[in-house]
Structure 1
């Protein structure tokens, strides 16, 4: 199965940078939309004003009060435009001859099939009315340069203009005005500037600059915060695994982070001192208790009643084993020795052989060869406890080593009565037993599963208990030491 792709990073640095980048993109998208709309409004305003200027200022080509007749316009204007194009092939900034922008005509410039632009007509009418121009009829439309009859006529006599028209992809705004009392039309043509011609490159450049500056500064600031936090996380993980404090972590970063590191150093030192005191205390308790227990073991040899002497010896042995388990539970995790890489199938097989040598019904299933860095002594002890628990309550044990996903599993199964579902979590606590009597032969001291859980947690794993298939757990109990692979 293919691993799922994580789109949202886990680290503080990654999440903050990604969130900032997304917010910046959203802000820039909104800004681009607003600027584009504003640019479009300015473009439309400038286009309509240019059309009005062409019509109002066109009197220099022919007085609006005495416009040129259509015959005169058609006779004079083409030659003049052609001569002007030959003198200045590039024309003006629009790329067309200057005289092309304003013409007089006997008929409306609207061609058959063209659609009038009502919105622009209304806006242009307001501008012309404010200038005192009385409008009899006004038309506004858009067309491509190649479909304009005047341009085609000019291009037929000017090869360079014909080449220019072939490459031109901008539309023309064509406006026609017939004034009150006039028979002819005044016609203006204005090339329409491309949409977003200046806005989009400016926005892209602005976004790039913002990303480089803002994300760069943010990365530097966040690295100053996350590096000390990463060191603190690693230090906490090491301390929780070993329980042994080391050299204090250097307090660096912003004041909040450095104060947190200093507080952690103080807490680690105090916890380490408490653990050292606990070890000393437990060592003293073990010594002070084992010495009189050993003396008692010697003294009971003088008891004449053999049954009574045997019961007393059994009680003393129970006390000694219980004391050993308590001391071992307290010492788990308190070691400076690094883990050793071991082949776990061989480790489990050695534990199984120990029980087989004692004649116990323990079997091991064949499985893959898996290795991992472990504390061999402690892991063997945890596995022994699970096997002993299976023998005590199930009468036999089946051991297997397998891999499930990112975990290596040391599994022990039995065919006993299992554990009620509501008591499985409680069975992992110290001095809790499945059998309520205090007889070690039937119930033990209640520390076996607790020791196994502590061993699993020491390796960064967990102890998992579950009933095997069967009504009410009748299929037996499955105990697993799940270690990270």
Structure 2
């Protein structure tokens, strides 16, 4: 399917301007066309009025017709004299032409008691011999006129204007005049005008759009690739508003980097200040004589240490110095499975084809350990499979546990929220495993998805970009 609406802001602005110009030119064309049609009617009615005035002048002067006069009358069109007007009541009258004709007759000193005007596509048989404006082609085909360079074809006939005027004695004088169609010339003029307007308007707008879009694209790329701690500012370029935006972005990125640096320093201090007394406490606990009490104390210290490790890992995620490299997912999973089976846990992996992914191995290893550990903790066993779909690689970790109610699945990713209500790490963990796993997946451009299996249990899916 062809996308007609552009994605970029500059493209959308150019399209809107082009559409508005097209709409304005369409309205202008319509008005010009209506004006041209009206002008054609006025020209035809002017010829008819002139012919009636000429006839009245001849009639009032009672002068004999000169030699060749009959031929001119035949060429100009004979006036129709009748007791009734040829413009009947069922015809559509043209008040504007009637008013113009009345004023013209009055200016020439000719008085008519009534004037009627109408436009028709086809003449009635009684008016076919009373028509003017039909011999233009013969006039242009005259050898003398052709020798003067007038070789243009006459415009096509659009219809006829009929002017009918009533004399004082009640007799009507009528004449029809050809209305010519000049649309082809008008269309060529409008087309040339439209092309000229588009060239004068759109070319500068395109240049202006490129002037704006270049720094905007640079700013977008800088924002997408932003890494805390970068010291190189984006060069200020473009119009004043864009320069101000880039300047604000540079100041914001500097503030963010400073805040993250301060947080890293604080987290490092917290890790050092907490682990040192924990290590000393561990040494002292070893001197406790009661074995049961000593084991409880050691487990509590280890619980605090593991929780602290998870918190620091989650807080520092995204700023790891480890580079992403192509990793054989099959070998990575087998290594993790061996670690769990060596500890006596039931973990199954259906070895398939070699699949590669561009990842940071240490982080993904930790995410998989968390998912498999949850499957063993709540389902007693884990079944692992790998699938590839397009540019995505999915690692499924299935268990046979009780699953999770649908309304609580999303909340399981919240920090310190566990599926087991107790605070005992042996039964419920620290509550950061899924949170950390999803953060690792999303840091790689993937995600963690939890779904209840139809046959029972839960499926945790780790989605990663395929290498």
Aligned counterpart in structure 2 of residue 481 of structure 1, from 449, 462, 465: 462
- Answering whether residue 204 of structure 2 is matched by residue 217 of structure 1, we say yes
8 A Cα contact 1:225 1:257, kept in partner: yes
- Answering whether residue 12 of structure 2 is matched by residue 11 of structure 1, we say no
Secondary structure, counterpart of 1:193 in structure 2: strand
Q: Map Cα deviations across residues 143-176 of structure 1 (whole Å, 9 max, x no partner).
A: 789x96799x999x99x68xx9x99843563757
Q: Which is worse superposed, 446-455 or 47-56? A: 47-56
Aligned counterpart in structure 1 of residue 76 of structure 2, from 101, 108, 114: 101
Partner of 2:295: 310
Tell me, in whole angstroms, the C-alpha distance in 2 between the residues paired with 1:303 and 1:136.
129
Aligned counterpart in structure 2 of residue 130 of structure 1, from 106, 112, 123: 106
Aligned counterpart in structure 1 of residue 44 of structure 2, from 43, 47, 59: 47
Gap runs ≥5 in structure 2: 143-150
8 A Cα contact 1:104 1:184, kept in partner: no
| Counterparts in 2 of 1:347 and 1:46: CA distance versus 1, 3 Å | farther
Q: Map Cα deviations across residues 269-325 of structure 1 (whole Å, 9 max, x no partner).
A: 122122222222222332333333333434444333333333233222222222221
| Counterparts in 2 of 1:358 and 1:206: CA distance versus 1, 3 Å | farther
| Counterparts in 2 of 1:99 and 1:398: CA distance versus 1, 3 Å | farther
Secondary structure, counterpart of 1:419 in structure 2: coil
Q: Which is worse superposed, 377-386 or 338-347? A: 338-347
Q: Map Cα deviations across residues 368-423 of structure 1 (whole Å, 9 max, x no partner).
A: 76654332321222122112112111222233333567754333232222223343
Please list, as runs of the form range in 1=range in 2, the aligned pairs for 1:138-217 lying within 5 A after superposition: 169-171=156-158, 173=160, 180=167, 190-217=177-204
Please list, as runs of the form range in 1=range in 2, the aligned pairs for 1:318-333 lying within 5 A after superposition: 318-333=303-318
Please list, as runs of the form range in 1=range in 2, the aligned pairs for 1:59-458 lying within 5 A after superposition: 63=59, 66=62, 100-103=75-78, 118-119=93-94, 122=98, 126=102, 129-130=105-106, 132-134=110-112, 169-171=156-158, 173=160, 180=167, 190-239=177-226, 242-344=227-329, 347-365=332-350, 371-403=356-388, 407-458=392-443
What is the deviation of 1:259? Answer: 2.0
What is the deviation of 1:443? Answer: 0.5
TM-score (norm 2): 0.78
Partner of 1:90: none
Tell me, in whole angstroms, the C-alpha distance in 1 between the residues paired with 2:223 and 2:324.
18
What is the deviation of 1:262? Answer: 1.7
| Counterparts in 2 of 1:138 and 1:362: CA distance versus 1, 3 Å | same
Tell me, in whole angstroms, the C-alpha distance in 2 between the residues paired with 1:349 and 1:183.
115
Q: Map Cα deviations across residues 231-289 of structure 1 (whole Å, 9 max, x no partner).
A: 222222222xx434241111222333222222221221122122222222222332333
Q: Which is worse superposed, 49-58 or 187-196? A: 187-196
Q: Which is worse superposed, 173-182 or 424-433? A: 173-182
Aligned counterpart in structure 2 of residue 38 of structure 1, from 35, 39, 46: 35
TM-score (norm 1): 0.75
Equivalences, count: 447
8 A Cα contact 2:159 2:180, kept in partner: no
